[in-house]
Amino acid sequence: MRIDLHTHSVASDGTETPAEVMAAAAAAGLDVVALTDHDTTRGWDEAGAAAQRLGVALVRGVELSCRHAGRSLHLLSYLHVPDHPALLAEAERVRAARQSRARRMVDLLSEDFDLTWADVEEQTGADATVGRPHIADALVALGVVPDRSAAFDELLAAGSRYWVPHHAPELVDAIDLVRQAGGVPVLAHPGAPTRGRAVTEAEVAQLAARGLAGLEVWHRDHTDAEQLRLEALAERFELLATGSSDYHGAGKPNRLGENLTSDDTLTAIEEAGRLEVLRS
């Protein structure tokens, strides 16, 4: 089976609606796809209805913004109960913090560019989790940069004078919340160089002991050597190893199905998760 466990829609910073992501997944020949918008499950219902129509199996998920040892890390959760009060409250807190952070970044950018908050709102889906990609899209619309990636290269990069951090839960606390909500916590792109230091062996050991279920090993932000390192760490600490595209529609070069997850790993995720994979 062709299984891709990491995608984004306009519920966060993808460029396609949840139904369009499902249609793109079917067109890419995927059998199973996960929708994992940043800090929200608002795309689940639309994605579920479209997936059933299209004959694609849907893994309902989310990508939670977290912090660990001074850096920003992302935690994927699969098949958790979406209305678990504590997990939902934390996700909503992050979404609110992302909103004020984006406004502060726009304030800083507006000192040098003709950018307003309304320009960013125009690029952001209704009730979407706002992120730097929406600011990037506004800068593209103004002709400041040619595309999202160019905006991320300098203006929006961590370390840029326009960059502002936002609140996010401690990774170990987020792992606890995901487990309480019946989800399967998998660390997203743990060796991506733009996020700061790659996750170390000692950290993986500690996180595995705290309930982490898996590592996203096969991801385009990892070098071949990094994928081998992470695969070995997953094996050593008895963690699942996933592969995914991190598709954002037209917003990123990532193509659906460019990395895949094995059938056995999906079975293990489904056994550990509270919800079922939606199959038509």
Strands of the sheet containing 240-243, edge to edge, are: 3-4, 32-35, 57-68, 71-78, 184-187, 214-218, 240-243
Least CB distance to ligand AMP at residue 162 (A): 12
149 binds, among ligand AMP, Fe ion, Zn ion, none (CB under 5 to 8 A by kind): ligand AMP
Does residue 216 belong to the site contacting Zn ion (CB under 5 A)? no
Q: What is the DSSP letter of 194?
A: G
Are the C-beta atoms of 154 and 173 separated by less than 8 Å?
Answer: no
- Interactions with Fe ion, residue window 5-64 (CB under 5 A): 63
Mark the segment that binds ligand AMP (CB under 6 A) among 42-50, 145-153, 213-221, 270-278. 145-153
* Maximum Cα–Cα distance across the chain: 52
Does residue 132 belong to the site contacting ligand AMP (CB under 6 A)? yes
Does residue 219 belong to the site contacting ligand AMP (CB under 6 A)? no
Least CB distance to ligand AMP at residue 132 (A): 4
Does residue 149 belong to the site contacting ligand AMP (CB under 6 A)? yes
Q: Site for ligand AMP (CB under 6 A): how many residues?
A: 11
Does residue 13 belong to the site contacting Zn ion (CB under 5 A)? yes
State residue 218 phi and psi, 5-degree precision.
-95, 100
Helix (H, G, I), strand (E, B) or coil at 214: strand
Query: 40 to each of 13, 27, 28, 88, 140, how far by Cα in Å?
Result: 11, 25, 25, 8, 25
Answer for which of 48, 168, 248, 257 binds ligand AMP (CB under 6 A) is 248
Give dist(CA 83, CA 61) in Å, integer: 13
Does residue 39 belong to the site contacting Zn ion (CB under 5 A)? no
Mark the segment that binds ligand AMP (CB under 6 A) among 107-115, 119-127, 147-155, 173-181. 147-155
- Interactions with ligand AMP, residue window 24-63 (CB under 6 A): 38
188 binds, among Zn ion, ligand AMP, Fe ion, none (CB under 5 to 8 A by kind): Fe ion
> Hey, what amino acid is at 229?
R
Give dist(CA 5, CA 89) in Å, integer: 24
Mark the segment that binds ligand AMP (CB under 6 A) among 15-23, 169-177, 246-254, 259-267. 246-254
> Hey, what amino acid is at 15?
T
Least CB distance to Fe ion at residue 276 (A): 23
State the burial class of residue 188 (Cβ atoms within 10 Å of its Cβ: 0-12, 13-18, 19+): buried
State residue 63 phi and psi, 5-degree precision.
-115, 110
Are the C-beta atoms of 71 and 195 separated by less than 8 Å?
Answer: yes
Q: What is the DSSP letter of 147?
A: S
Helix (H, G, I), strand (E, B) or coil at 207: helix
Does residue 188 belong to the site contacting Fe ion (CB under 5 A)? yes
- Interactions with ligand AMP, residue window 71-130 (CB under 6 A): none
Residues engaged in binding ligand AMP (CB under 6 A)? 13, 38, 131-133, 148-149, 152, 248, 251-252
Residues engaged in binding Zn ion (CB under 5 A)? 8, 13
Residues engaged in binding Fe ion (CB under 5 A)? 63, 74, 188, 246
